[in-house]
């Protein structure tokens, strides 16, 4: 970048030329100018905004955060979907389709899914689909059986909570449950336990985890 181009970047930093369409080095040069001049912003007198502003911001964040997380999550998950069971693949495929075609016409009923994958990235252990219209959570085990003499146990950690709640042992086959209510950002996990489940009420050896994302 020569000196003239750097001054072009300074003009974009001042707002005298549009920032739109910058290439990477042009953006970096403009951001460097913004950082140089940023101490000037300290002089702005703080003014409390109206209370309604937070509500507006929260509404925007809430409306989009499900989808943003779903996309990030989906990218991460696609690397892990090889080698999981047919049922899980179908659910995974459904997730991919939903994410690839983001809903532009929101429906009242929302679909959420938690894809619970091995902490070491070796595979998927569990998929939970939530249908808010029916209140039914479908639990789809997708991993291998636990080693002999041990059990897999499911856990739910609501967003903001510090202690997970046991959902019982991992079923062999897909089951529908109406007692699991979860929101975006909630964490689900599977732990390895002695036969019959955790003796302490808390996970002994967590092996898999995944968060709830909205896929509607």
Partner 1 sequence: MPQADDLDELLLRIARGDRAAFRALYQSMSAKLFGVTLRICRDKSIAEDATQDAFVEIWRKAKDFDGARGAPGAWMAVIARNKAIDQIRKRGRAVLVTGGEDGADVLDTLPDQKAAVDGGVAGLALGQCLGRLADREKEMVVLAYCEGLSREELSERYDAPVNTVKTWLRRGLAALKACLDGEEARGRP
The residue ranges that bind partner 1 (CB under 8 A) are 3, 6-7, 10-11, 13-16, 19, 33-50, 53-54, 56-57, 60-61, 65, 68-69, 159-160, 185
Specify the residue, 67 or 151, whose C-beta has the smaller distance to partner 1: 67
In the three-class reduction of DSSP (H, G, I as helix; E, B as strand; rest coil), residue 206 is classed as strand
For 168, the token pair is: 């019982």
For 53, the token pair is: 């502003």
Specify the residue, 41 or 107, whose C-beta has the smaller distance to partner 1: 41
- DSSP-assigned beta bridge partners for residue 212: 114
Q: How far is the CB of 130 from partner 1 (least distance, A)?
A: 18
> Can you tell me the distance from the alpha carbon of 112 to that of 210, in angstroms, rounded to the nearest whole number?
12
Output the CA–CA distances (angstroms, integers) from residue 88 to 40, 52, 82, 118, 131, in the order listed.
Answer: 55, 43, 10, 14, 17
Give phi and psi for 149, each to the nearest 5.
75, 20
Q: How far is the CB of 99 from partner 1 (least distance, A)?
A: 16
Specify the residue, 3 or 101, whose C-beta has the smaller distance to partner 1: 3
Q: How far is the CB of 13 from partner 1 (least distance, A)?
A: 8
Q: How far is the CB of 201 from partner 1 (least distance, A)?
A: 26
For 27, the token pair is: 């953006």
Specify the residue, 62 or 201, whose C-beta has the smaller distance to partner 1: 62
């Amino acid at each position: 970048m020569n000196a003239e181009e750097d001054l072009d970047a300074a003009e974009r930093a001042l707002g005298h030329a549009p920032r739109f369409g910058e290439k990477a080095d042009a953006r970096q040069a403009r951001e460097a100018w913004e950082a140089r001049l940023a101490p000037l912003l300290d002089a702005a007198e703080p003014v409390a905004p109206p209370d309604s502003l937070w509500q507006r911001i929260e509404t925007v964040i809430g409306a989009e955060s499900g989808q943003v997380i779903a996309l990030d999550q989906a990218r991460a998950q696609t690397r892990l979907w090889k080698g999981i069971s047919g049922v899980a693949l179908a659910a995974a495929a459904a997730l991919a389709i939903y994410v690839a075609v983001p809903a532009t016409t929101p429906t009242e009923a929302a679909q959420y899914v938690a894809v619970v994958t091995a902490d070491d990235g070796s595979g998927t252990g569990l998929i939970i689909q939530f249908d808010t219209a029916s209140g039914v959570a479908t639990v789809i085990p997708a991993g291998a059986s636990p080693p002999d003499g041990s059990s897999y146990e499911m856990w739910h950690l609501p967003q903001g909570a510090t202690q997970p709640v046991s959902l019982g042992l991992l079923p062999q086959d897909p089951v529908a449950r109406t007692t699991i209510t979860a929101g975006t950002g909630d964490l689900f996990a599977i732990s390895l336990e002695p036969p019959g489940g955790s003796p302490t009420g808390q996970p002994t050896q967590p092996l898999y985890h995944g968060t709830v994302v909205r896929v509607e």
